[in-house]
Amino acid sequence: MDRRIGVIIAVVCCEVVFRLAYHSLPLSVDPLLYTLGVRFAETAVILSLAFPVCGIKAGSIRTELLIGIGISAAFGAAVVSADLLSMLMIEGGILKILIARQQVPDPLLFFVTGCVFAPFVEELFFRGLFYSWLRERLPVAISVFFSALAFASIHGFLSPVQITGGLLFAVIFEWRKNIWAPYTVHAIANTGIWILPWIYPFW
């Protein structure tokens, strides 16, 4: 059996066990802190069992991070431009419909969990393991589509934002062959989805 399939099954089992266990914990347990612990455990499973094949190796991580920053800047500019154009037809613009302000009691913990660590684990799993496994068996377009669908569905609903992200991250992974550029875009996107509704529009 392909090592990636074994690790994918192990991570899915971890996720199921941790989700079921959460319901039996005291209400005082911080859900963000619990999620961070779960993601640490899943990262440990992936890196210990599938380090050579999880997409973490790159010729130059610094170059990949810079590429990710550049893609994020271009994509962000395109999103804001499209939103400004949509204001001609939709009151308040399309972003107001797609993303909402998130009330966060602990911004630092939210940032570390949701904007730094969760995207890293998700890239290891969805692109490094799942997409690369699909890609060896299916054409690019089908692999991109199914990995994006799986990525969006794990968030509980198939929102246009999650599907767009899944498509974009998979395409970048296909191009770069490692997780670092898609991880950078993913992390910046999560941060933007959180911060942007509080500061945009700028007037």
Local confidence pLDDT in tens for the 203 residues of the chain: 789 999 999 999 999 999 899 888 887 889 999 999 999 999 999 999 999 999 999 999 999 999 999 999 999 999 999 999 999 998 888 988 888 888 888 999 999 999 999 999 999 999 999 999 999 999 999 999 999 999 999 877 778 899 999 999 999 999 999 999 999 999 999 999 999 988 887 65
pLDDT at 200: 84
Half-sphere exposure of 169 (CA within 13 A, CB side): 37
Smallest CA-to-CA distance from 153 within 27, 12, 52 is with 12
Spell 25-60 as b/e; 16+ CB within 10 A means b.
eeeeeeebeebbebbebbbebbeeebeebbbbebee
> By the 8 A CB rule, do 56 and 124 touch?
yes
Establish how many alpha carbons lie within 13 A of residue 83's alpha carbon, considering only the half-sphere containing its beta carbon: 19
pLDDT at residue 117, rounded to an integer: 96
Q: Is the dihedral of CA 125, 131, 136, 137 positive or negative?
A: positive
Q: Is residue 103 within a helix (H) or strand (E), and if so which, with residue range?
A: none
Question: Which pLDDT belongs to residue 203?
Answer: 53
The pLDDT of residue 163 is 94
Cis peptide before 201 (omega within 30 of 0): yes
Q: How far apart are CA 149 and CA 167, in angstroms?
A: 8
What does the pLDDT read at residue 149? 95
Please report the pLDDT score of residue 23 as a whole number.
85
* The token pair that represents 49 in the structure block: 């069992």
No. of helices (H) and no. of strands (E), the chain? 10, 0
Which tokens go with 184? 């950078």
